Amino acid sequence: MSLFLVVFLLGVGWVLVVSARALLIGRRSGRGPVVTWQLFQIIGSVAAIGSGTGIAVAGGWVALLIAVAVGVLLMTPSVVAATSETGSAD
């Protein structure tokens, strides 16, 4: 089970790196995995906030703020426009 989790998380990390590189060069394919990861981060941070222990609550709020900020920034018109280009000259 531990080996599966390590391989799985390495795969998730690889997908996020590839998605970030796609976003940096203006491809829309990177938005979906990054937004999905932010939704998972929001769910996890809400669970941490609800746990009621000191450091987990603080960490949950930090993770929640970062996830919401990244999610909102990915949906701004400038990012959507930059990653929606098809590359063809009109």
Structure-token pair, residue 40: 């998972």
pTM of the full predicted structure? 0.79
C-alpha 38: how far from chain center: 4
Residue-range domain boundaries for the chain = 2-83
3-state secondary structure of 76: coil
Torsion angle in degrees (nearest 10) through CA of 42, 71, 39, 15: -120
The pLDDT tens digits along the chain (90 residues) read 999 999 999 999 999 999 999 988 888 888 899 999 999 999 999 998 998 788 889 999 999 999 999 999 988 888 888 877 654 444
List the one residue out of 55, 58, 23, 60 whose CA is nearest residue 41.
60
